[in-house]
Amino acid sequence: MRVSLATNTTSPQSQQRRWWLSVRRYLPIYLLIFPGMALFLVWTMFPLIYAFVMSFFQWNPNPVATSPFSGLANYTRALHDPIFYQALRNTFLYTIITVVGQMAAGLGVAVLLNTKMVGRSVFRIFFYLPVVCSWVVVSIIFSYIFSTGGLVDYIFGTVLHLISPQQNWLGDTALALPTLMLLGIWKGIGWNMVIFLAGLQGIPTEINEAARVDGASRWQIFTRITLPLLRPTISFASVILTIGAFGTFIPMFILTKGGPLHSTETLLTYAYTNAFSSFDFGYGAALTYLFAAFIFVLALIQIRVTRARTQY
């Protein structure tokens, strides 16, 4: 009450003083934030804005040369570009299948490892290992495993006779994207496992015990209790994974370069090729902004859909 009274009656002078006091009070915080903020502004914000400007020009990367302004031409061009739509379709397919695949596999592994079995830490390490490996390394290893006549062909073709021993995994338009999806899922299982393990351990054990006393089966406990209570975890994982899957670039770039016939072209590989191989920087920038718009809308939808509060 006294405070509000004071505010109502302050003179301009004392208002200034108050402002100075609050600055002084928070100054250490500003100083601590500053280095991180500066890095963020220079290395993230500035390129973002620069690319946005670029997307309205026929951009020449040479700073000495002039870049003609082209308005929305780069954006309308994308809307008439069949490869853009193919890249969009590939990106969506890759995202849906790898996100669902990773979460299902990660949740399965987490449920299995959430028991007091012997050697569970060893399994947890094995499943987590691909996560800490670099994308470049696992991509190159995959290129050997999935090369024509490689390890997969040998085991499933030569030994088990399930497929032809000369599959062109990464060179065939029908097989290349599924092979990359497999890589994406395999690499993501460990991360999902950790997240879901944390989620599972957050579920009060009393609830499970009560359900068991009431005679619920394991499946009923899983679908009626575990899954609904994991809702915040699922929501968090799906948003993070969707953004990650949309931005997948390295495996495509290393293994297929978007080929064969653009069957593994994603929005990012296509933007990259346009910018750095065709020198069409304006078009590349426009593609990344369209791409950012998609992610933004998708993330909004996801958050809204999964926002419902968890109730015990």
Closer residue to another protein, CB minimum distance, 233 or 263: 263
Q: Candidates 87-95, 126-134, 141-149, 187-195: pick the segment binding another protein (CB under 8 A).
A: 141-149
Query: Does 172 sit near another protein (CB under 8 A)?
Result: yes
69 backbone dihedrals φ, ψ, rounded to 5°: -70, 135
Among residues 127, 262, 264, 266, the one that binds another protein under rule CB under 8 A = 262
Among residues 169, 191, 196, 283, the one that binds another protein under rule CB under 8 A = 169
Among residues 108, 171, 178, 244, the one that binds another protein under rule CB under 8 A = 171
In angstroms, give the least distance from the CB of 260 to another protein. Answer: 5
Closer residue to another protein, CB minimum distance, 127 or 283: 283
- The CA distance from 43 to 127, in Å, is 34
The DSSP 8-state label assigned to residue 171 in this structure reads T
- The CA distance from 36 to 8, in Å, is 38
Closer residue to another protein, CB minimum distance, 180 or 237: 180
Q: CA 277: distance to chain centroid?
A: 25
- The CA distance from 74 to 80, in Å, is 10
The answer to whether residues 110 and 197 touch, using CB atoms and an 8 Å cutoff, is yes
Cis peptide before 178 (omega within 30 of 0): no
Closer residue to another protein, CB minimum distance, 187 or 262: 262
The answer to whether residues 234 and 306 touch, using CB atoms and an 8 Å cutoff, is yes
Among residues 166, 201, 217, 223, the one that binds another protein under rule CB under 8 A = 166
Query: Does 279 sit near another protein (CB under 8 A)?
Result: yes
Burial label for 125, CB within 10 Å (0-12, 13-18, 19+), is exposed
- Name every residue whose Cβ is closer than 8 Å to that of residue 179 and which is 6 or more positions away in sequence: 142, 146, 169, 170
Query: Does 170 sit near another protein (CB under 8 A)?
Result: yes
Query: Does 228 sit near another protein (CB under 8 A)?
Result: no
Q: Candidates 89-97, 107-115, 184-192, 275-283: pick the segment binding another protein (CB under 8 A).
A: 275-283
List the structure tokens of 165. 């021993």
Query: Does 51 sit near another protein (CB under 8 A)?
Result: no
Comparing CA positions, the residue from 259, 235, 248 lying closest to residue 187 is: 248
- Name every residue whose Cβ is closer than 8 Å to that of residue 115 and which is 6 or more positions away in sequence: none
Query: Does 147 sit near another protein (CB under 8 A)?
Result: yes
# residues contacting another protein (CB under 8 A): 29
Closer residue to another protein, CB minimum distance, 166 or 223: 166
The DSSP 8-state label assigned to residue 57 in this structure reads B
Position 145, amino acid: I
Closer residue to another protein, CB minimum distance, 242 or 288: 288
Query: Does 143 sit near another protein (CB under 8 A)?
Result: yes
Q: Which residues ranging from 53 to 92 are in contact with another protein (CB under 8 A)?
A: 60-65
Query: Does 148 sit near another protein (CB under 8 A)?
Result: yes
The DSSP 8-state label assigned to residue 276 in this structure reads I
Closer residue to another protein, CB minimum distance, 233 or 273: 273
- The binding site for another protein (CB under 8 A) comprises 60-65, 143-144, 146-150, 166, 168-173, 259-262, 273, 276-279
